[in-house]
Structure 1
Amino acid sequence: MSRLRLLSAAALLTLATSASATSFVVTTDATVGALAATTETTSDVSSSFKDDKIVRAARDDAASFVASQGEIRGVRLQAALNHIRGQLPQLAASDMQLAQAILTL
């Protein structure tokens, strides 16, 4: 094998390893960021609405919503989501995050 081919193969191997490590770091950062956002939402909602009748009544609908990946949306869940967003307008959370938070109550 010529020296140029050997150096080219070594360079490609180095780049591939670097790209793989970078990809892992980006994926890990994205996953941790999403988990932190969900945890923060869960904490905000659970501490604010623990004894709220509208939100507590939506637990079964929230469970169906989460289990169906958002396909099943009951009227009690929709009422609870509207109620939560009305009480906490600064809360930037998806319907799925709020449904998961309702399940923790």
Structure 2
Amino acid sequence: MLRAVLTVSLLLAAGPLLASSFAGTSAGSASDASSEGSSASSGSSSGDDKVVLAAREEAAGFIASEGAVRGARLQAALLHLREGDAQAAQASDLELARQILAR
């Protein structure tokens, strides 16, 4: 179990490095940015994204520990998701944590 937690931690630590190199190679033109902005606003609001994205690391730890490690940010994200979606209200904590990590 400790090995799984350490592996997830290492992967999460490498995530920002991978994201920054992807962002550097995928920068588009100003017209691309405006179309991305309009499509992004049609989804969930930025407040939703902040709560859920802030919980990604804790969701990874929760999954790796098979539910033994549970943080405040994850709890807030689970509550937030359940309040906004009837299907999420019926999902288990582990299912929602997987969804958070997939975002």
Measured after TM superposition, the shift of residue 89 of structure 1 is 2.8
Residue number in structure 2 paired with 1:97: 95
Hey, which bits of structure 1, 4+ residues long, moved more than 2 A? 47-51
Matched residue SS, 2:86:
coil
Change (3 A) 1:49 1:64: farther
Please, which runs of 5 or more residues in structure 1 have no aligned partner?
1-46
CA–CA separation in structure 1 for the residues paired with 2:51 and 2:60: 15
What's the TM-score, normalizing by structure 2?
Answer: 0.52
- Amino acid in the other structure paired with 1:89: A
Q: How does 1:1-105 map to 2 (within 5 A)?
A: 52-91=49-88, 92-105=90-103
Identity %: 54
Matched residue SS, 2:69:
coil
Change (3 A) 1:49 1:58: farther
Deviation per residue, 1:49-93 (Å, 9 max, x gap): 896100000000000000000000000000000000000134321
Number of paired residues?
59
Residue number in structure 2 paired with 1:36: none
Structure showing greater Rg: 1
| CA RMSD, 1 decimal | 2.1
Please, which runs of 5 or more residues in structure 2 have no aligned partner?
1-42
Change (3 A) 1:87 1:64: same
What's the TM-score, normalizing by structure 1?
Answer: 0.51
